């Protein structure tokens, strides 16, 4: 089993590598891929249960940016 070191320098190198823009079309496709499912769910919850839409969208964006920087692939946040 290979050992992995998680020194701060290695973590920063991994984050920098994950933030490199490789293909504009792939980035646009990935950014828009989940909107068809996510937006109707969030709008329905906002209308039915007084969900604060602004806060939900802001923290969803922050979550996607952080997971994209750490793992290299943004994680979808809606239930599928």
Q: Is residue 12 part of a domain?
A: no
Alpha-carbon dihedral sign for residues 38, 41, 46, 49: negative
Q: What is the pLDDT of residues 4-47, one digit of tens each?
A: 667 888 888 887 777 776 666 766 676 677 777 778 888 898 89
Supply the pTM of this predicted model. Answer: 0.55
Q: Is residue 58 part of a domain?
A: yes
Return the C-alpha torsion angle 42, 46, 48, 50, nearest 10.
Answer: 150
Q: Is residue 62 part of a domain?
A: yes
Q: Is residue 5 part of a domain?
A: no
Count the domains in the chain: 1
Q: Is residue 42 part of a domain?
A: yes
Closest CA to 75 of 30, 17, 45: 30
**Structural domain of 64:** 24-71
First to last CA, the chain: 34
């Amino acid at each position: 089993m290979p050992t992995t070191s998680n020194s701060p320098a290695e973590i920063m190198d991994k984050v920098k590598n994950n933030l490199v823009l490789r293909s504009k079309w792939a980035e646009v496709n990935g950014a828009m891929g989940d909107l068809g499912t996510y937006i109707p769910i969030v709008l329905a919850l906002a209308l039915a249960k007084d969900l604060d839409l602004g806060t939900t969208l802001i923290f969803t964006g922050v979550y996607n940016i952080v997971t994209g920087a750490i793992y290299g692939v943004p994680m979808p946040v809606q239930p599928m």
